[in-house]
Amino acid sequence: MKKGQLMGQPIMYLFYALVGAMILYFGITVIIGLQETSEDVQYVSFIGDLKKSVRTVYSDARGSTYGLEGITIPNGIDEICFVGSYEPSVVNGLELDTRIQLISDYGEFNLFFGGVELEHFNHKLDVVVNGTICDDTKDRELNFILENTGRAVEITRL
Protein backbone atom coordinates (compact mmCIF):
# COMPACT_ATOMS: atom_id res chain seq x y z
CA MET A 1 0.00 0.00 0.00
CA LYS A 2 1.10 3.48 -0.66
CA LYS A 3 1.10 6.20 1.97
CA GLY A 4 -1.77 8.19 0.37
CA GLN A 5 -4.06 5.17 0.28
CA LEU A 6 -3.65 4.52 3.98
CA MET A 7 -4.62 8.10 4.90
CA GLY A 8 -7.57 8.20 2.47
CA GLN A 9 -9.25 5.06 3.79
CA PRO A 10 -10.38 6.49 7.21
CA ILE A 11 -11.72 9.56 5.44
CA MET A 12 -13.86 7.32 3.22
CA TYR A 13 -15.24 5.49 6.28
CA LEU A 14 -16.05 8.84 7.89
CA PHE A 15 -17.81 9.91 4.70
CA TYR A 16 -19.85 6.66 4.65
CA ALA A 17 -20.84 7.16 8.30
CA LEU A 18 -21.90 10.75 7.61
CA VAL A 19 -24.02 9.76 4.59
CA GLY A 20 -25.60 6.91 6.58
CA ALA A 21 -26.50 9.26 9.45
CA MET A 22 -28.07 11.76 7.04
CA ILE A 23 -30.16 9.03 5.38
CA LEU A 24 -31.42 7.84 8.78
CA TYR A 25 -32.23 11.39 9.92
CA PHE A 26 -34.21 12.29 6.80
CA GLY A 27 -35.93 8.90 6.74
CA ILE A 28 -37.16 9.27 10.30
CA THR A 29 -38.31 12.83 9.56
CA VAL A 30 -40.38 11.62 6.61
CA ILE A 31 -41.96 8.80 8.65
CA ILE A 32 -42.98 11.22 11.42
CA GLY A 33 -44.47 13.56 8.81
CA LEU A 34 -46.52 10.70 7.35
CA GLN A 35 -47.97 9.86 10.77
CA GLU A 36 -49.09 13.47 11.23
CA THR A 37 -50.63 13.47 7.76
CA SER A 38 -52.50 10.28 8.64
CA GLU A 39 -54.05 11.98 11.69
CA ASP A 40 -55.14 14.92 9.53
CA VAL A 41 -56.71 12.54 7.00
CA GLN A 42 -58.66 10.78 9.80
CA TYR A 43 -60.00 14.13 11.02
CA VAL A 44 -61.03 15.32 7.55
CA SER A 45 -62.66 11.95 6.83
CA PHE A 46 -64.57 12.15 10.14
CA ILE A 47 -65.93 15.64 9.34
CA GLY A 48 -66.83 14.46 5.82
CA ASP A 49 -68.75 11.47 7.21
CA LEU A 50 -70.69 13.75 9.59
CA LYS A 51 -71.60 16.15 6.78
CA LYS A 52 -72.65 13.26 4.53
CA SER A 53 -74.91 11.91 7.29
CA VAL A 54 -76.54 15.32 7.74
CA ARG A 55 -77.15 15.62 3.98
CA THR A 56 -78.61 12.10 3.88
CA VAL A 57 -81.08 12.82 6.67
CA TYR A 58 -81.97 16.24 5.23
CA SER A 59 -82.84 14.71 1.85
CA ASP A 60 -84.99 11.98 3.45
CA ALA A 61 -88.63 12.40 4.44
CA ARG A 62 -89.69 14.44 7.45
CA GLY A 63 -89.38 12.44 10.66
CA SER A 64 -86.62 10.19 9.36
CA THR A 65 -83.74 9.50 11.73
CA TYR A 66 -80.15 8.36 11.37
CA GLY A 67 -77.84 7.03 14.07
CA LEU A 68 -74.19 8.03 14.07
CA GLU A 69 -72.82 4.91 15.80
CA GLY A 70 -71.11 3.65 12.63
CA ILE A 71 -68.93 6.71 12.07
CA THR A 72 -65.25 6.16 12.81
CA ILE A 73 -63.90 8.60 15.39
CA PRO A 74 -60.27 9.73 14.99
CA ASN A 75 -57.77 8.83 17.69
CA GLY A 76 -57.32 11.49 20.35
CA ILE A 77 -60.91 12.75 20.45
CA ASP A 78 -62.24 12.01 23.93
CA GLU A 79 -65.40 14.11 23.88
CA ILE A 80 -67.61 15.69 21.25
CA CYS A 81 -70.07 18.48 22.00
CA PHE A 82 -72.71 20.18 19.88
CA VAL A 83 -73.63 23.61 21.22
CA GLY A 84 -76.78 25.57 20.42
CA SER A 85 -76.82 27.51 23.65
CA TYR A 86 -74.05 26.95 26.17
CA GLU A 87 -74.77 24.79 29.25
CA PRO A 88 -71.56 24.30 31.30
CA SER A 89 -72.96 21.46 33.44
CA VAL A 90 -73.14 19.14 30.39
CA VAL A 91 -69.47 19.39 29.35
CA ASN A 92 -67.17 16.87 31.07
CA GLY A 93 -63.69 18.07 30.09
CA LEU A 94 -62.30 21.26 31.63
CA GLU A 95 -60.18 21.92 28.52
CA LEU A 96 -63.19 21.52 26.23
CA ASP A 97 -65.30 23.69 28.53
CA THR A 98 -62.72 26.47 28.23
CA ARG A 99 -62.60 26.13 24.43
CA ILE A 100 -66.38 26.41 24.13
CA GLN A 101 -66.50 29.52 26.34
CA LEU A 102 -64.03 31.28 24.04
CA ILE A 103 -66.55 31.24 21.17
CA SER A 104 -69.02 34.10 21.21
CA ASP A 105 -71.22 33.07 18.26
CA TYR A 106 -72.38 29.45 18.26
CA GLY A 107 -73.91 29.99 14.81
CA GLU A 108 -70.36 30.07 13.45
CA PHE A 109 -69.03 27.04 15.36
CA ASN A 110 -71.33 24.48 16.95
CA LEU A 111 -69.22 21.30 17.00
CA PHE A 112 -66.34 21.01 19.48
CA PHE A 113 -63.76 18.29 20.14
CA GLY A 114 -62.11 17.60 23.49
CA GLY A 115 -58.89 15.80 24.29
CA VAL A 116 -57.13 16.55 21.05
CA GLU A 117 -54.24 18.72 20.07
CA LEU A 118 -55.53 19.35 16.58
CA GLU A 119 -55.37 22.74 14.95
CA HIS A 120 -59.11 22.51 14.35
CA PHE A 121 -60.93 21.73 17.58
CA ASN A 122 -64.19 23.32 16.45
CA HIS A 123 -66.30 23.09 13.34
CA LYS A 124 -69.63 24.20 11.87
CA LEU A 125 -72.19 21.51 11.07
CA ASP A 126 -75.61 22.37 9.62
CA VAL A 127 -77.71 20.93 12.43
CA VAL A 128 -80.10 22.37 14.99
CA VAL A 129 -78.97 21.86 18.58
CA ASN A 130 -81.18 22.50 21.60
CA GLY A 131 -78.86 23.53 24.43
CA THR A 132 -75.61 21.61 24.71
CA ILE A 133 -75.23 17.88 24.08
CA CYS A 134 -71.98 16.01 24.63
CA ASP A 135 -70.79 12.46 24.20
CA ASP A 136 -67.82 10.79 25.84
CA THR A 137 -66.23 9.00 22.89
CA LYS A 138 -63.80 6.75 24.76
CA ASP A 139 -65.99 3.83 23.67
CA ARG A 140 -65.20 4.97 20.05
CA GLU A 141 -68.92 5.40 19.22
CA LEU A 142 -71.01 8.50 18.65
CA ASN A 143 -74.22 8.24 20.64
CA PHE A 144 -76.18 10.82 18.66
CA ILE A 145 -79.24 10.67 16.41
CA LEU A 146 -79.95 12.98 13.49
CA GLU A 147 -83.63 13.70 12.83
CA ASN A 148 -85.24 15.47 9.89
CA THR A 149 -87.70 18.01 11.34
CA GLY A 150 -88.92 19.18 7.94
CA ARG A 151 -86.92 22.39 7.60
CA ALA A 152 -83.69 21.36 9.33
CA VAL A 153 -81.80 18.45 10.81
CA GLU A 154 -81.82 18.24 14.60
CA ILE A 155 -79.26 16.32 16.62
CA THR A 156 -80.09 14.61 19.93
CA ARG A 157 -78.47 12.09 22.27
CA LEU A 158 -79.17 8.41 21.69
Closest CA to 133 of 91, 98, 71: 91
pLDDT of residue 17: 94
Tell me the pTM: 0.71
Q: What is the pLDDT along the chain (158 residues), one digit of tens a residue?
A: 555 565 667 888 889 999 999 999 999 999 988 887 887 888 889 889 999 999 999 998 898 998 888 888 888 788 888 887 777 666 766 666 766 766 666 667 788 887 766 556 777 887 888 878 888 888 888 889 999 998 889 988 88
Q: Which residue ranges make up each domain of the chain?
A: 3-157
Q: Is 31 left (phi over 0), alpha (psi -120 to 50) or beta?
A: alpha
